Amino acid sequence: MKILITIAARGGSKGVKNKNIRSLCGKPLIAHTVLQALKWGKAARVVVSTDSPDIAAAAVKAGALAPFMRPAELAGDAAGKIPVIAHAVRKCEELYGEKYDYVIDLDATAPLRKVTDIDLAFNKAVAEKKQVLFSVVPAHKSPYFNMVELDAEGIARLSKKPASPILRRQDAPAVYDMNASIYVCKRAFFETDPVTYFTENTGIYVMDRISGHDIDTEEDFRFIEYLVKEGVWGFDYE
């Protein structure tokens, strides 16, 4: 079984400037994900897709491959992640003469995942024969209990009406937040030019909230840095 790991990291991040190469506990942010992928050790290649020479250099220094630059049409704010990964897969198959069975995408902005998370997510996808499996964390809010939206008349309604009133949040059906940390896809998934990860055979891998925490804001960055520096959480690739 041949596996490709992709790490998509665009330059010009908005929420946190240059976040993919910003130092987190002594290493560029992207390096933590590269090192996790290499520590897992089951992928034929760990490849970074980027439009930034600086990100490419940081990734290569950490041990990844950056054999191509992402084209401009896949580097803008409107570019979706699936076309970026599909492009990376096809480029790698062309460059290396390989055909992959599975593609695992790891987000560079989720540096607290464990190597065991990658392993467990991949094994679950294979065992359950999923076309796609992505990581999630338990949601803080529930559409059955404490999430609302306004109807056409401006009246607040529960986002998802339960069969009968739910009086305690713990009695509501389990719901999850997608955290973008890990995506496991069969290679065949990309043959159909998909626009979403939701298929008739998509599964989830549940991470705890800390390992699944991702960086969208300056506060996220400082929070993760604090957790590591204070010994609350550590990197398991070392």
| Per-residue pLDDT tens over the stretch 142-155 | 999 999 999 999 99
Give Cβ neighbours of residue 132 (< 8 Å, ≥ 6 apart): 125, 183, 184, 185, 186, 189, 197, 198, 199, 201, 202, 203
Is residue 234 included in any domain, yes or no? no
Both 95 and 157 in a single domain? no
Pair 106, 148 in one domain: no
Asked if residue 238 is part of any domain, the answer here is no
Tell me the CATH number at 46. 3.90.550.10
Asked, for residue 235, whether it belongs to a domain, the answer is no
Count the domains in the chain.
Answer: 2
**Both ends of the chain: CA-CA distance in Å?**
26
**13 and 104 together in one domain:** yes
Residue 236 domain flag: no
| Full residue range of the structural domain in which residue 35 is found | 3-138+175-229
pTM of the model: 0.94
Are 87 and 198 members of one domain? Answer: yes
Q: What is the pLDDT tens value at each position of the chain, 238 positions in all?
A: 999 999 999 987 777 889 999 999 999 999 999 999 999 999 999 999 999 999 999 999 999 999 999 998 998 777 889 999 999 999 999 999 999 999 999 999 999 999 999 999 999 999 999 999 999 999 999 999 999 999 999 999 999 999 899 999 888 999 999 999 999 999 999 998 999 999 999 999 999 999 999 999 999 999 999 999 999 999 999 8
Exposed/middle/buried for 204, CB within 10 Å: 0-12, 13-18, 19+? Answer: middle
Residue 116 lies in a domain: yes
- Both 52 and 161 in a single domain? no
Shared domain check, 133 and 39: yes
For residues 132 and 159, state if they share a domain: no
**Is the backbone of residue 176 left (phi > 0), alpha (psi -120 to 50) or beta?**
beta
User: What's residue 76's pLDDT?
Assistant: 79
